[in-house]
Structure 1
Amino acid sequence: MMQPIFLKAVLQDKIWGGSKLYTHFGLDLPSQTIGEAWSISAHPNGVSEVISPAEFAGMGLDELYQSQPELFGGVTEERFPLLTKILDANQNLSVQVHPDDKYGLEHEGELGKTECWYIISADPGSKIIYGHNAQTPEEFSAMVEEGRWDDLLREVPVKDGDFFYVPHGTIHAIGAGIVILETQQNSDTTYRVYDYGRTDAQGNERDLHIQQSLDVTQFPHQDPQVNITEDDQDGGKVVHYLTNEYFSVYKWDLKKSLTVDLPKEYYLATVITGEGEMEIDGKVYPLHLADSFILPSDIQSVTLRGDLEIIVSNPETVASKKELV
């Protein structure tokens, strides 16, 4: 096919959401509390729709993945493996944790959730919750019961351009004033530990999941190792943030032009800053802020021009093209 697959994001209303997906990215929002744009998603709770090419327009990504396996290297799993989203934290998100695959499948009927965050923007003084200070589940439980949240939770200041790896079992929360691009497993299982006593429009507090959180949290917390590398070219650079068993994540960062080889089966991409264009096999596609697209299996390389940043990922659950040759 040799064409990128552009997708329409699914907007999710959240108690902590705001309006930056409009003011920063120009998305048409149905309310002032839109917390997430599921940019590339085949999850039942929000399926992205194909915008182009025309032959697939209007099709959900879940259907495309099942009906056109050749676009994804011919090696497809039961469910599309990844989900990428832009989050606008107008208020603090709940403190939460996600299970691993084994626990998630056993208790929730879906995979666990390992994720990572690229900080697109952060208001001065913004912080995230990243890990905890309890040494054992018993100490954790006691601190929760006593409401000693300041002692239990680790706060980390953040700024634009920071990157955080959040494996399953990591206690975490995105703080107010932060916009992120999240790459994650295709799962929507979340266990809430703490929600600041917030209530919804009906005056009800959201459910907490203390026992499940105790079951899946890492004790004691250890920050995961991340080895960030850069491949500089004349007109830009490719930053490699992470490769784990689920996905690899990169940033294509260009001021003029950048040519990138694509050795893996397919790639997911979202424009997070700027404007430009992408050339594939002699054909040029305009790129705008918040555009999200998949580069399918038969695209071997792309040339990008403009002043823009793109967060890119690929699943690590299929063989690479090199391995298939």
Structure 2
Amino acid sequence: MQIEPIFLTPVFQERIWGGTKLADEFGYSIPSAHTGECWAVSAHPNGQTVVKNGPFQGMTLGQLWEERHDLFGRFPADRFPLLTKILDANADLSVQVHPDDAYAQEHENGEFGKTECWYIIDCKQGAQLVYGHHAKTKEELKEMMENGQWDKLLRKIPIKPGDFFYVPSGTIHALCEGTLVLETQQSSDTTYRVYDYDRVDSNGKKRELHLDKALDVITVPHRDADIHESVAKVDDAIITTFIECDYFGVQKWEINGSANLEQTKHFLIVSILDGKGQLISEGRAYDLTKGDHFILPYQFGRFSVKGTLKAIASWPRP
């Protein structure tokens, strides 16, 4: 049987900071004007994407992982390891931090930790994000948090479309208003909220903070991740490899014409961020358009992509 790309139907999550860009930019049918997250490729229990084509149509990604582990090269993990999202930060996200695997295993019912990365799809003029902090010791960090010295504590960085940020567990971070981001992360939904601008929800309640756990896991002092991007030209494609860390590798594909490529990983996750084209494999053509998300399974082998498009590709690392 021919191995086909596995196209997936996203799941949407409403958030206090969400907006309508997921509909405006990608044409998705969203649940409300406060839709913050498109879970594009997910087998997490809090939001499972569903296969929309081929022999596995109608199965959740989690089911497919359990029943056809061969499609994922029998990747050595007890659950699907990654989660791909698109985030619409219509307002500032809370300042937060994520635990590593060891802390999450112990304190979050066996959940994965959460190391993630961001590709800035679009942002407003003058946009910035929170990335790291200025405290030198845990004591100084605790004191500044307790005294609400957020302007002094938080490190803010200007951003522009096309920027890439690696956010290891333990890093204080927040997306800010007017930012559209593709996020690649470990398959985890564990977040420790540090500061939420004293916002209240529709019932007039502030959202819960998790300061004790946050203090346990925040890296002090902050260290910028050491990443080395590389760029390669393959036929009519420019392929930028942003990172290969302990959990995932991430590339950007910019194709204008035709490129012959090969899937050599356990599996490859691809998200089309702009443009359109076709993926051609063993004589069959699959249409690709902005907002599509799919998986190329194990031993998919050689294929070509034709058209004008921009995509983010990611893969798990054992």
CA deviation vs aligned residue, 1:95-148 (integer Å, no higher than 9, x gap): 000000000010002010000000000110111000000011111111111111
Alpha-carbon offset, residue 70 of structure 1: 1.3
Alignment of 1:57 onto 2:57: yes
Q: Which residue does 1:118 correspond to in 2?
A: 119
Paired amino acid for 1:244: C
Contact 1:237 1:258 in 2 (8 A): no
Q: Give the distance between the partners of 2:290 and 2:300, measured in 1 at CA.
A: 22
2:189 match: secondary structure? coil
CA deviation vs aligned residue, 1:52-71 (integer Å, no higher than 9, x gap): 11x21111000000100111
Alpha-carbon offset, residue 301 of structure 1: 2.2
Q: Which residue does 1:323 correspond to in 2?
A: none
Q: Which residue does 1:83 correspond to in 2?
A: 83
Paired amino acid for 2:80: F
CA deviation vs aligned residue, 1:291-319 (integer Å, no higher than 9, x gap): 000000121122111111110111001xx
Q: Which residue does 1:274 correspond to in 2?
A: 275
Q: Which residue does 1:161 correspond to in 2?
A: 162
Contact 1:94 1:192 in 2 (8 A): yes
Alpha-carbon offset, residue 276 of structure 1: 1.0
Q: Which runs of 4+ in 1 moved over 6 A?
A: none
Q: Give the distance between the partners of 1:237 and 1:260, measured in 2 at CA.
A: 12
Q: Give the distance between the partners of 1:136 and 1:211, measured in 2 at CA.
A: 16
- TM-score scaled by length of structure 2: 0.98
Q: Which residue does 1:322 correspond to in 2?
A: none
Q: Which residue does 2:39 correspond to in 1?
A: 38
Contact 1:126 1:158 in 2 (8 A): yes
**Sequence identity of aligned pairs in percent?**
47
Contact 2:235 2:260 in 1 (8 A): no
Contact 2:119 2:183 in 1 (8 A): yes
Unaligned runs of 5+ in 1: 318-325
Point out the more displaced range, 194-203 or 251-260: 251-260
Matched residue pairs, number?
316
Paired amino acid for 2:66: Q
* Cα root mean square deviation, aligned: 0.9
Q: Which residue does 1:98 correspond to in 2?
A: 98
CA deviation vs aligned residue, 1:207-226 (integer Å, no higher than 9, x gap): 00111111000000010011
Q: Give the distance between the partners of 1:101 and 1:154, measured in 2 at CA.
A: 25
Alpha-carbon offset, residue 76 of structure 1: 4.8
Q: Give the distance between the partners of 1:301 and 1:153, measured in 2 at CA.
A: 46
Paired amino acid for 1:129: V
2:242 match: secondary structure? strand
2:26 match: secondary structure? coil
Paired amino acid for 2:101: D
Q: Which residue does 1:202 correspond to in 2?
A: 203
Q: Give the distance between the partners of 2:280 and 2:235, measured in 1 at CA.
A: 18
Contact 1:132 1:221 in 2 (8 A): yes
Q: Give the distance between the partners of 1:298 and 1:222, measured in 2 at CA.
A: 38
CA deviation vs aligned residue, 1:243-278 (integer Å, no higher than 9, x gap): 011110011111111222222111011101111111
Matches within 5 A, 1:1-325: 1-53=2-54, 55-109=55-109, 110-317=111-318
Q: Give the distance between the partners of 2:259 and 2:172, measured in 1 at CA.
A: 37
Q: Give the distance between the partners of 2:233 and 2:74, measured in 1 at CA.
A: 32
2:291 match: secondary structure? coil
Contact 1:257 1:306 in 2 (8 A): yes
CA deviation vs aligned residue, 1:17-56 (integer Å, no higher than 9, x gap): 0000001110011200100000000000000000011x21
